[in-house]
Structure 1
Amino acid sequence: MAVLYLTLLGGCGGMEESFPPEEPSVTGETEAATPTVERVEAPLASPVAANGKLQVVGNQIRNQNGVAVQLKGMSLFWSQWGGAFYNASVVNSLADNWKVTVVRAAMGVENGGYLTNPAAEKARVKTVVDAAIAKGLYVIIDWHDHNATAHTAQAKAFFTEMAQRYKNTPNVIFEIFNEPDNETWTQVRAYAVEIIGAIRATGAPNLVVVGTPTWSQDVDVAASNPITQYPNVAYTLHFYAGTHKQGLRDKAATALSKGIALFVTEFGTCGSSGNGNLNLAETQLWIDFMNSRKLSWANWALNDKAETASALVTGSSTTGNWPDSALTPSGAFIKQKLLQ
């Protein structure tokens, strides 16, 4: 069991992990009357004050003025294991000290996550989202699952509730399927159309990001048959620089040339296991690629697990304001890129 636990806690990009089956509990029912958060004025000079509602135009994500925008930030770790970092102090520190423009709340679904403890996981997500709104940051609500097509009903209920709550809030981005692993694009596309339909049915116009096959790497496949039923949809590209190199950049370039917008909602500076093989030179090549195409990104992960992908050393404060001594080599590199 210890070996399994450590495997599941690894990075997310391209791992061929085999999750044990889990009986979906009777969860995810929307509340009888989900309150809608009224739009609040973003703080002056904040990312949301400057850019407002995000919109996909062609192969770009643009701001309210039609100008291409590139968000840069951090992804939190799986919420059921990294939940100590799901607090306002962490969000504030990332905004003030790291100058992030986006934070990703990676809500774990299986393995003790949302399917087991829906109220606790939703509470963690709402804490991060509400803190991001208060700081004027963009925030990704991520259904952090490799088997989402097996949990369509729960995902639909969850995103219906979140969309009803945050439909007036331009800060919020919905990431509806983290990393499809063995699903075909036909399967993922059908799932995405159903979930996006539920989101749009609430009146929520928010940007939606759709996972792509093979741990969100086959963006070129998605680009050959994109979702056309609904507007404001981008597609997920994930990479781990120690594993995924020019070949994946070529796939991304192909997808962009076919006219879809990409969002790198997760990437690591190391191998796809989340550990070993720190490759900052290849990470810089990826950052140059993303900058040249204005691809938004979130680095995996703001967490203190003892692995290469973590931004913080083990035992770091869970309330932010980290000194340089608390940063791992990966964390120090990414913070530098955020401050540039």
Structure 2
Amino acid sequence: MAKGKAMTPVQAHGKIRVCGTQLCSESGRPVHLKGMSTHGTHWYAHCLTEAAMDAFAYDWKMNVLRVSTYARQGGYHADPKKYTELASQLIDRATARGMYVIVDWHTIQPGDPHTDIDNALTFFKQIAERHKHKSNVIYEIANEPNHVSWERIKSYAETVIPVIRSRDADSVILVPTPGWATLGGAEGKNEQMIVDNPVRAKNVMYTFHFYAQKSRDDYVMRLDRASSKLPVFVTEWSAASWTGYENDFPMAQKYVDLMARKKIGWTHWVIADNGLDLSVFKKGACGAGKFTGTGVLKPAGIWIRERIRG
């Protein structure tokens, strides 16, 4: 390393792993990952160029990027080869800048992840085979199961995880939770079902999602309680509603403070330049190739950039 040049996140922490309820560095120290999630790569690849990645790594100072490959909705199922290759390119771009990268198999509809399990198995076989020698890859095996039991999700996880492990034996794997990844909260359940019946695999964490304009103090308490029992990673959240509008920054700050205190890793939704309040770039900014500084950002972008940098 050149004299005076700062270490990248991956150089600083090495191959991360789960230790107890926390994410830890290769040497066993707690690590706090903070970054952004892409939108569907089939929609917003123009927001994920080399210049954009430079901005995220060096201006935003992100240490993790979540790459969302939609299983449906015009994504993977429409052209598996194209979107597997695009995910791989984005993994390589994050790697070149020393960031960790979450490979998200973005399932939403239908709510049962088993519906697309054959495609999921093929996708993760190819991704894990190609990137198995990297030390910065994290696998999120499904996004938001809904209207399906924890037992059904657990069965899915215990089918997909061995496929990844046979190629990449020790990377962290993120397992979704019921109720759109709310630890069951959106469907009147709680984390105890997972505590009592965890996935039969090592080095796994469980995902939690929230939208602060709708997910109020009871969800903050849910995250606090669950993260004391389980290793939790917040792979998707916003200050806005899940409709994309009405940012509530004071409410979101409660979550940010909790996640900072407990070193709960997170990726904020979403890297896009559309008309929604939760998108970080002003409309048309990505198309113009402008990514650095605050002038190209919406209020959500300015707010979250400060919290990533801080």
TM-score by length of 2: 0.91
Cα deviation digits, residues 112-146 of structure 1 (max 9, x gap): 11011112211221121001111110011100112
1:324 aligns with 2:294: yes
Q: Secondary structure at the match of 1:316?
A: coil
Q: Is the 8 A contact 1:109 1:145 kept in 2?
A: yes
1:244 aligns with 2:206: no
Please, which runs of 5 or more residues in structure 2 have no aligned partner?
Answer: 185-190
- State the match for 1:308 in structure 2: 277
Task: Tell me how far 1:58 sits from its aligned partner.
Answer: 1.1
- State the match for 1:15 in structure 2: none
- State the match for 1:176 in structure 2: 141
1:194 aligns with 2:159: yes
Equivalent residue in structure 1 for 2:65, among 81, 87, 103:
103
- State the match for 1:87 in structure 2: 49
Q: Is the 8 A contact 1:87 1:124 kept in 2?
A: no
Task: Tell me how far 1:199 sits from its aligned partner.
Answer: 0.6
Counterpart CA distance in 2 for 1:247 and 1:339 is 28
Counterpart CA distance in 2 for 1:328 and 1:320 is 13
1:336 aligns with 2:309: no
Q: Secondary structure at the match of 1:115?
A: helix
Q: Secondary structure at the match of 1:73?
A: strand
Cα deviation digits, residues 208-249 of structure 1 (max 9, x gap): 00111111001613233211x321100101111101122112
Amino acid of the structure 1 residue aligned with 2:301: G
Which runs of structure 2 are paired with 1:175-324 in the superposition (5 Å)?
175-218=140-183, 220=191, 221-227=193-199, 229-258=200-229, 260-275=230-245, 277-318=246-287, 319-324=289-294
Runs of 4+ in 1 over 6 A off after TM superposition: none
- State the match for 2:40 in structure 1: 78
Counterpart CA distance in 1 for 2:117 and 2:164 is 13
Counterpart CA distance in 2 for 1:218 and 1:144 is 17
Task: Tell me how far 1:331 sits from its aligned partner.
Answer: 0.5
Counterpart CA distance in 2 for 1:327 and 1:203 is 37
Identity %: 31
Counterpart CA distance in 2 for 1:315 and 1:97 is 20
Which runs of structure 2 are paired with 1:33-72 in the superposition (5 Å)?
45-72=7-34
Counterpart CA distance in 2 for 1:97 and 1:320 is 12
Q: Is the 8 A contact 2:224 2:258 kept in 1?
A: no
Counterpart CA distance in 1 for 2:286 and 2:118 is 37
Counterpart CA distance in 2 for 1:61 and 1:129 is 20
Counterpart CA distance in 1 for 2:293 and 2:221 is 38
Counterpart CA distance in 1 for 2:309 and 2:303 is 10
- State the match for 1:17 in structure 2: none
Amino acid of the structure 1 residue aligned with 2:99: L
Counterpart CA distance in 2 for 1:248 and 1:226 is 21
Counterpart CA distance in 1 for 2:285 and 2:225 is 41
Q: CA RMSD in A?
A: 1.5
TM-score by length of 1: 0.83
Task: Tell me how far 1:83 sits from its aligned partner.
Answer: 2.1
Please, which runs of 5 or more residues in structure 1 have no aligned partner?
Answer: 1-42
